[in-house]
Structure 1
Amino acid sequence: MTFNVWPATVAEESVLGDFLKLIADAGSVRGRSVLLVGQSSWTRTTLLTRASGRLGLSVLPLGVEFSRRAALLTRRQRPLQAATLLQGIVDEAFSGSSIAVIDRLEVLFDRSLRLDALDAIKRLAHGRTVVAAWPGQYGNGRLRYAPAGHPEHCDHAAAGCLIHHLS
């Protein structure tokens, strides 16, 4: 389903309602990460924006802020400080909130950072519910990013995450 900017259709409102319920349910789950997967980047961003608006929150476009701050570090410092930098950005953006809504995660797959993107998201979810748009695919209980053989390829079991799959 592709979302229109305005007005929302009955089907779009139903999808949004289901997504908001999953976010609410995540508050009682250990790990508390909700991943929005599937469709186009635009569709995921639109749904995140609508959901965050209903929750009274903003969406953090992670790639922009992370890249801006990482550029201040040397190439050698980036992998050593990537996880701390990520945590600081999210803590600053969502200070006092029990939910963080994050989009544009692609930067986390940059091999030079030596981060495991899914693990990084799960670590962020230790202190609050993290709602994020997964930029890859989901199927058979697995989250994937980039095709096999690509330097940024990853393939993880989705255990410990609540998945909202847009088909």
Structure 2
Amino acid sequence: MAQKPKLYYFNGRGKMESVRWLLGAAGVEFDEEFLETKEQYNKLIEVGSLLFQQVPMVEMDGMKIVQTRAILNYIAAKYNLYGKDMKDRLFIDMYVEGTTDLMLAVIPLPFQQGDAKAKQIDLIKNRAVNRYFPVYEKVCKIFVLFMLYRCNLKL
């Protein structure tokens, strides 16, 4: 029996959350090692586990995989969640990149205070509501209609 993937990240959501979601969608159980001290993190660097000296890292199939998008692409391909052809993968990649753009606006929030934080929150809300959510809403509607069609269901 293959070993469960092991996820290495800080005790929080961050960039590892999408990896957790994808493994969950694939029905794959995994273990996690939360990096709670600088020593734990430095040890991974010292032994050469972190190619670019940063997490997230997923240990699976005898490899130590870093870089969020590389991790996601590997898992999606391994568990047949990366589309049936290049066109499907292209659209998946576009939605992923959009989500990444929005996430990059959210990441600095814990480090901001006062007016700067309030302005960033307003910017995030505006972009989410006016730029990103309409795109995802449209694709979700198309997906639901497709699934109804595939299942021969009527509205």
TM-score for both structures, normalised by structure 2: 0.26
Q: Would you tell me which structure has more helix in proportion to its own residues? A: 2
- Structure having greater relative contact order (Cα 8 Å, sep ≥ 6): 1
Q: Would you tell me which structure has more strand in proportion to its own residues? A: 1
Larger radius of gyration: 2
TM-score for both structures, normalised by structure 1: 0.25
